[in-house]
A and B are shown apart, each in its own frame.
Chain A
Amino acid sequence: MLLVALAWRSLRNRALLSVLTVLSIALSVALLLGIEQVRVGVRESFAGTIKGTDLIVGARGGTTQVLLSTVFGMSAPTGSVSWATYERWAAHPAVKWAVPYALGDAHRGFRVIGTTAAFFERYRFRDRTVTFVAGGPPTTDAEVAIGANVAERLGYAVGSEVVLAHGLAAVSFAEHGAHPFRVSGVIAKTFTPIDRALYATLEGLTVMHEAEAASGGLMMGPPTAPTTGPAPITAFLVGTKNRFETLQLQRELNEDRTEPLTAIIPGVALAQLWQTIGSAEVGLRVVALLTLLVGILGMCVALYASLEARRREMAVLRAIGAGPRTIVGLLVLESALLSLAGALAGTALVYGGLAVARGPVEARFGLALQSHALTSVEWGILALVVGAGTLVGLVPAWRAYRASLADGLAPKL
């Protein structure tokens, strides 16, 4: 009781120094928790690149390749999937919806994708739907919707005339002016690969191929079906009626006898991909660790300085008969209180800051900063800060005790 009273009075007496110490601890804690939040946010944003789709089905190939070609528009598709196969699976009783997805063409470095209007309804990223800042999805075979980056970089707007070409080269030598497209809509920024793509209808894509074939252009995209009927696609997205049936359906798709397919669960594939390319996360972790180190060191210096200035006081307490436990207890209690207050203030700062910054940060960087409860890592950080703050009090406490034994009764200092 005496200790608490003394510690409290002493901290209040040096209010400015106490507040500054708490502030410096709070800032390190806020920085640490902030970095942790960003780390989790980056991971969740990545994981949120595609949501709501239970399975992505492509021609037989690697999981990562199906994911990269379909969701990220990177790497070549694993092959083509016939329209008949798509229709067969779309009618499967476990399938709630299926969206065809044809990839392969490019326009000045941006991917062109053929799909249906359902794509814009079904596709989710970070639990959001695709919206248009202007216009809407393509409705005819001469229309194309464009991502935000495409609009920005190429200066297209609704109504712009666009000549689409085969291949991924920025300047294609097989441009086919025979079939120009008109921009039907500009998609609102998603911070996902959608921003870097153009979306035509399936028929639009087919017409484009035919025009190309007629003009003797080079074939670089997926092979066109020689038969009549809709052209083959490169993948299709599936939503299941019941989440529990997803695994069963995945197995069935992978064992399709008529056409070799690979069905992937986007969430799982994204998590796998993140593990292989997650070095950014490691980097953030290293930064966080260094910050923690510097923060705790700074806190130790602040606490130590404030305690060193009080050796005289310790000498007086010793002369009155305070034992080592009282002296050590007092100093340790003070540093514990300071670091605890710092940890609390830092946590409050982060959550307050998140509440304010969440909107702007998502709008500007597409980073979803969720205000989740403290993770075990964050609890660990707080415990470490308070623990280190308490322990650092032991050092000057012990020194003060030793010093007061040795020279405390001298009137100097």
Chain B
Amino acid sequence: MTSTAAIAIAGVTFGYGAGRSVLDVPTLEVHRGERVFLHGPSGSGKTTLLGLIAGVLAPRTGEVTVLDAPLHTMSGAARDRFRAAHLGYVFQMFNLIPYLSVRENITLPCRLSAARRERAGDPAAAAARLADALEIGPLLSRPVTELSVGQQQRVAVARALIGAPALVVCDEPTSALDADRRDRFLELLFTQVTAAGSTLLFVSHDLGLAARFDRTLALGALNRAAAVGDPDAATTATTSAA
């Protein structure tokens, strides 16, 4: 019944509005439990691809299957419910709801999804446990506006991981952090993803992080739409040809 693929993309094309295709991905597969590093230059469509995988965007053509759910056939509302139940998402920055405390931000997915709440058990206790593990335990009752960027990103990780979603997606979560914090952040993230048994799809343009992952994917190699009018992709093509 359950396939080994956490993410399976086949023949997907996508463009914003009526614009040109940003993505044309014939195939992409991520296995369950895998930690995948996806890199590509800025503007190459990484965030867009994550939007498709999260079901926030719908492809023009092709199939996006996430945790065996065929997102391309599901309604917007069904994709919203699916995302709430099975996905953790971390942005590059501004991850938090400014008027909620750290604890409330972390437990928010449990309020939106019964599945997450059930798996978390007691949301407050789960939040405390995650916060301790991510070394932000003392901040739980603080307003999020008082946190540093590094602390905010850890809160975002705790929120992405509460209720153990099967897939965690991070969109350049470390780009606002300095090198020391970045390494510590990755360490903590890995520990928690492993503890939750989640699949991790981690996006960054910083190739220096790639070595820590099970597998590294270059979006440029996956995306046939990349070469069109993209100066970075053109340079790469010339270099490889020489």
Chain A residues with a Cβ under 8 A of chain B:
2, 6, 9-10, 12-14, 312-313, 316-326, 404-406, 408-411, 413
Contacts and interface: CB of A to CB of B under 8 A. Distances in A.
Contact of A411 (B17, B84, B94): B94
B91 A411 contact: yes
Interface residues of B, number: 36
Given A313-B97, A405-B57, A321 B47 contact: no
A14 B99 CA distance: 8
Nearest to A322: B112
A10 B95 CA distance: 16
A404 B100 CA distance: 20
Nearest to B109: A320
Q: Please list the 8 inter-chain residue pairs (A to B) with the smallest Cβ-Cβ separation, ordered nearest first.
A: A321-B84, A13-B99, A411-B92, A323-B80, A319-B89, A321-B83, A9-B99, A409-B51
A408 B56 contact: yes
A409 B91 contact: yes
Given A405-B56, A411-B93, 5 more contacts: A13-B98, A313-B98, A320-B112, A320-B159, A409-B47
B94 A413 contact: yes
Interface of B: 16-17, 47, 50-51, 54, 56-57, 76-77, 80-85, 87, 89, 91-100, 108-109, 111-113, 159, 171-172
A411 B99 contact: no
Given A316-B91, A409-B91, A410-B47, A321 B16 contact: no
Contacts of A312: 94
Which label, helix, strand, loop or mixed, suits the secondary structure of the A interface? helix
A316 B95 contact: yes
Q: Which of A14, A322, A408 neighbours the largest number of chain B CB atoms within 10 Å of its CB?
A: A322
Nearest to A411: B92
B77 A317 contact: no
A324 B84 CA distance: 13
28 contacts: A9-B99, A13-B99, A317-B97, A318-B56, A318-B80, A319-B83, A320-B83, A320-B84, A320-B109, A321-B80, A321-B87, A321-B109, A321-B113, A322-B112, A323-B76, A323-B77, A323-B81, A324-B77, A324-B80, A405-B57, A405-B76, A408-B56, A409-B50, A409-B54, A409-B91, A409-B171, A411-B47, A411-B91
A324 B76 contact: yes
Contacts of B17: 406
A405 B17 CA distance: 11
Given A13-B98, A405-B56, A321 B77 contact: no
